[in-house]
Amino acid sequence: MSNKFFLPFALPDIGDEEINEVVDSLRSGWITSGPKSRKFEEDFSQFLGSGVNCISVNSATAGLHLALEAIGISAGDEVITTPYTFTATAEVIRYLGAKPVFVDIDPDTFNIDTTKIEAAITSLTRAIIPVHFAGLSCDMSAIISIAKQYNLKVVEDAAHALPATSQAKLIGTLNSDVTVYSFYATKTITTGEGGMIVTKDQNISKRCKDMRLHGINRDIFNRYTSSQPNWHYDVIAPGYKYNMNDLAASMGIHQLKKAYTFQKKRQELAELYNQAFKNLPLITPPKAADNELHAWHLYVIRLTENASVNRDDFIRLMSENGVGCSVHFIPLHLLTYWRETYDYKENDFPCAMKNYQAAISLPIYTRMTSKDSEKVIEAVYKVLGVN
């Protein structure tokens, strides 16, 4: 097979529906938060089907920040999470002057090891942020049970998890306090940049809505579309500028309709890879349980010790063979800010460290053709020196 074309690690899947909706918003004259943002929120609530409150924001980072502020996290508090995540998960804790307390991961799932959470709880612990790595849900039954026992809040980082399930229920409908989704360009559905806060708690919902737009207690859409004088508003707190605009929401309206179709395509690619790689010197990603749904945001393999190349050389050689790969993630305790602020050592989280040193994310996205997947498989065989 020719390697003349380069297959990128990820590409968004944007159709005419999204494009036409964005054009409609541009022509309407309403391009900030307005009717499309509201519709996307309503559609998302209907998608989850549990009467939840949905608050659209301009990023999942913004959503996590608002969620933690709304549940009362403040300076001196501690919040338990995983070091095997993007820095945003932990940085929002620091925004509020609190301390992230890292708990090592389960070596098979890459998710937080629930058997190690209780040992990390102190008198200062206020919340747990589980991260559903790669689209495979955490053991939410165990996490929620621990949280209830110690009177802790649970804020799910579901950036990878649409439409994953736990306990045969969609993430976002469980008994956690808040769930936050990401719609970044590479995610399972995209608005370019954007996120969604999901909560059943009316007080949390109201606080997030107020704080996402400067602490103003009025919806800008209502103020600017009323046929009567309706200009007055109040500021109830020093809020943030975290609202989603209608151009992004226009994409989200149609991406959401495709969420299960996208998941099916990603799962088909994952199963194709699993079959192709089963006799190679690598570990394929864990599957969801029979009654659960894996979102397959990422397909992360791990090289075994008898592989002919190391992780970094594997990625370089894959690129030379026309296939883009990535690494998810560099554990936070290795990064300068977190390492120096909390005096972390390399082996403080041995499972996270071991997985990181072997982990490679292969392309898995819905625009991939059979030719594309064959190219990935052929390149993996070639790089590992297997005929």
Supply the pLDDT for residue 62.
Answer: 98
pLDDT number for residue 224: 58
Angstrom distance (rounded) from CA 198 to CA 222 = 22
Average pLDDT over residues 339-367: 98
Q: Can you tell me the mean pLDDT for 71-91?
A: 98
- Joined together, the tokens standing for residue 226 give 């009323």
The active-site residue out of 187, 200, 209, 375 is 187
pLDDT-derived band at 229, boundaries 50, 70, 90: low
pLDDT of residue 290 exceeding 60, the answer is yes
* Mean pLDDT value of segment 370-374: 98
What is the pLDDT confidence band of residue 2, given thresholds at 50, 70 and 90?
A: very low
Q: What is the mean pLDDT of residues 249-276?
A: 98
Q: Does residue 183 have a cis peptide bond before it, meaning omega lies within 30 degrees of 0?
A: no
- Does residue 59 register a pLDDT over 90? yes
Q: pLDDT confidence of 222, banded at 50, 70, 90?
A: low
Alpha helices in the chain (DSSP H): 16-28, 35-48, 60-70, 88-95, 117-120, 140-149, 202-211, 220-225, 246-257, 259-277, 311-320, 336-342, 350-358, 370-383
User: Helix-strand-coil percent breakdown of the chain, rounded to 5?
Assistant: 40, 15, 45
- What confidence tens digit (pLDDT) does each residue in 68-79 have? 999 999 999 999
All structural domains of the chain: 16-257 (3.40.640.10), 259-383 (3.90.1150.10)
- Cα angle 105, 107, 112 (rounded to 5 degrees) comes to 20
pLDDT band at 92 (very low <50, low <70, confident <90, very high): very high
Q: Is the pLDDT of residue 276 over 70?
A: yes
Q: What is the pLDDT of residue 3?
A: 52
Residue where the block lists tokens 């939840």:
52
Would you say residue 12 has pLDDT above 90?
A: yes
- pLDDT above 60: residue 247: yes
Separation in Å, CA 387 to CA 53, 283, 313, 317, 377: 53, 18, 19, 16, 12
Average pLDDT over residues 35-60: 96
The answer to whether 68 and 92 have CB atoms below 8 angstroms apart is yes
Closest CA to 176 of 202, 135, 148, 211: 148
Per-residue pLDDT reduced to its tens digit, 194-221: 999 999 999 999 999 999 999 998 776 5
Question: What's the pLDDT at 217?
Answer: 83
pLDDT at 371: 98
**Distance between CA 380 and CA 367 in Å, rounded?**
20
What's residue 313's pLDDT? 98
What is the pLDDT at residue 325? Answer: 98
pLDDT of residue 231: 76
- Percentage of the chain modeled with pLDDT above 90: 94
Task: Classify 108 as helix, strand or coil.
Answer: coil
Q: Is 187 a catalytic residue?
A: yes
- pLDDT value of position 1: 43
* pTM given for the model: 0.96
pLDDT over 70, % of the chain: 97
Type and span of the H or E element at 10: none
135-150 residue pLDDT tens: 999 999 999 999 999 9
CA distance 231 to 78: 41
pLDDT computed for residue 107 by the predictor: 98
pLDDT band at 230 (very low <50, low <70, confident <90, very high): confident
